[in-house]
Amino acid sequence: MSHKIIFAGFCILGVIVVASAFGTPEDELLTEGDLLHGSSSLASHVRSKRQGNSFWGNLFNFEPKPRPERRISNHTLSKLQQYPERDNRFLSLFTVVRFNNEACMSASGDNGTCFPQAECVRRGGATNGKCAQGYGSCCVFSKSCGASTSQNCTYFTHNGYPTSFDGTGSCQLTVYKCAPDICQLKLEFESFNIAQPGINGVCNNDQFIVSGTTNAVPIICGINTGNHMYVDVGNDNSPVTLSVITSGPTLSRSWKIKVTQIRCTEAYRAPEGCLQYFRGVSGVIRSYNFDFVSGQQLSNQDYTTCIRQERNFCGIRYTACSEGSADGADPTPVRSRAFSLTGQLAQGGTLVGALTGSTNCITDWVTIPCATNTGRIMQMGGAVCQDRLCGDIFNSEGGGAMNQVPVYSYAKPFRITYHTDPNETGDSGNRGFCLNYIQQPCTPQQRK
Ligand SMILES: *[C@@H]1O[C@H](CO)[C@@H](O)[C@H](O)[C@H]1NC(C)=O
Ligand SMILES: *[C@@H]1O[C@H](CO)[C@@H](O)[C@H](O)[C@H]1NC(C)=O
Ligand SMILES: *[C@@H]1O[C@H](CO)[C@@H](O)[C@H](O)[C@H]1NC(C)=O
Ligand SMILES: *[C@@H]1O[C@H](CO)[C@@H](O)[C@H](O)[C@H]1NC(C)=O
Ligand SMILES: [Ca+2]
């Protein structure tokens, strides 16, 4: 009595059927195409057992061309066909395992999806290592200019990656949902180095453009390695397009963007409209193209960054990132580049210090709801907290303060917004922002 695994995978939702009762050594791994064609009886049993779940429906909608190949042995097939529809005894001979996370780590270190080898090739992936106890191959999807994908976890690279690229053109990946109930895509910039913006901070050389989303996604450029974006997708089947336009000066460009698809029901999805989303008690938030040395604040930004409020935490403390010493830090402490939105940060320019409020921050600003310098002690007697911060020093008391301090916010949900106008006239050397955040525990009073 052999144990065989009949394997069907799609998106990340896969089914393993372990036929422990009458599998024979001649049985081979089945793909879902085989399952549906070669053994409609099995398929319909599995389907009826899984009523209320749209998986098989999705399969038909999204993969209309399963291969008709039959790879199960005649012996097993004849046994399968002996069991009439909806006979539950049939299923007792099988163990149907639904696994929600069949992501795998490929031999090369990229994330893949576990599929039977032939299925991986049919889907346009490249097998790279084993998974599912050796029954599956870790299948990596990597696409380049002009391609489209409907596979979860697809890497979008320029042609010739990892050799750098220096050309002019438009490189696009069209991303289709891998299942109907996808609400969001996460774009992780494993490598992202394209031309810097022009004189006004506008991305008019190279551009990264995301279209087809339901939230507005700013155009970005420059260096964004390690940063990410969550984009919301509508409930129809229209695709999202990722485009990298390269037209700027000669440069060794490089990009590798991991695109994962997130179901509407996933607890870990970002709240709607959050372009950046962080989980965990602490972390580092960077505006796009933030870099102490070579970064330049991007114009025309308008987006929200969200932080998940962790259990037993009620507030959040932000501090400007430390420049350290190894990255060409400016020796003058006040010319910290970690928070530089308006004013002349460049050497020789006029610092404006910390500014707050909508009368002082009218071009570029960060909004931290009800920000205070004072931490737990909320300001009393009509003293106000600030929402809008700008200038070139991080301090919520504004007034041109030249000392960088921690800034606290107890407003929920935890989120900050960032706005920049199309113009950097009068400003110079600004980088945008890099803020460390640490969530603050609830006090007994806040907890109740
Ligand atoms: C896509 O893959 C990621 C892991 O790489 C996983 O967390 C996510 O749930 C998958 N999405 C779908 C729709 O299967
Ligand atoms: C399986 O059955 C088909 C048709 O019933 C037959 O043509 C084929 O030769 C059989 N294969 C084996 C290996 O017995
Ligand atoms: C995805 O890849 C990262 C390394 O790039 C690895 O740490 C992680 O474990 C992988 N995920 C899975 C599910 O294999
Ligand atoms: C930028 O601002 C300056 C000064 O306010 C103004 O003269 C100029 O026309 C603006 N440029 C653009 C492109 O808006
Ligand atoms: Ca500006």
Question: Considering only CA atoms, which residue is closest to atom 12 of ligand 1?
Answer: 12
Domains belonging to the chain, first-starting first, are 4-99 (no CATH), 144-269 (2.60.120.290), 282-447 (2.60.120.290)
Q: Is the CB of 154 under 6 A from ligand 1?
A: no
Q: What does the pLDDT average to over 178-184?
A: 95
Q: Dihedral of CA 71/77/81/86: which sign?
A: negative
pLDDT digits (tens, 9 = 90+) for 339-350: 999 999 888 888
Q: Is the Cβ–Cβ distance between 184 and 233 less than 8 Å?
A: yes
Ligand 2 centroid, distance to 96 Cα (angstroms):
27
Mutate to test the pocket of ligand 4, among 299, 364, 420, 425 (most ligand atoms within 8 A of CB): 425
Q: How far apart are CA 207 and CA 196, in angstroms?
A: 9
Q: Does an H or E element contain 133, and which?
A: none
Q: How far apart are CA 206 and CA 223, in angstroms?
A: 11
Q: How far apart are CA 113 and CA 9, in angstroms?
A: 9
Q: What residues are paired with 141 via a beta bridge?
A: 154
Q: Is the CB of 133 under 6 A from ligand 4?
A: no
pLDDT digits (tens, 9 = 90+) for 1-19: 333 333 333 444 444 444 4
Q: For the chain, what is the radius of gyration of the CA atoms?
A: 27
Mutate to test the pocket of ligand 1, among 10, 12, 188 (most ligand atoms within 8 A of CB): 12
- For residue 78, what pLDDT band results from cuts at 50, 70 and 90? low
- For residue 381, what pLDDT band results from cuts at 50, 70 and 90? very low
Burial class (CB in 10 A: 0-12, 13-18, 19+), 85: exposed
Backbone angles phi, psi at 441, to 5 degrees: -60, 155
Burial class (CB in 10 A: 0-12, 13-18, 19+), 399: exposed
Q: Is the CB of 179 under 6 A from ligand 1?
A: yes
Question: Considering only CA atoms, which residue is closest to atom 5 of ligand 4?
Answer: 425
Q: Is the CB of 362 under 6 A from ligand 4?
A: no
Q: Is the CB of 373 under 6 A from ligand 4?
A: no
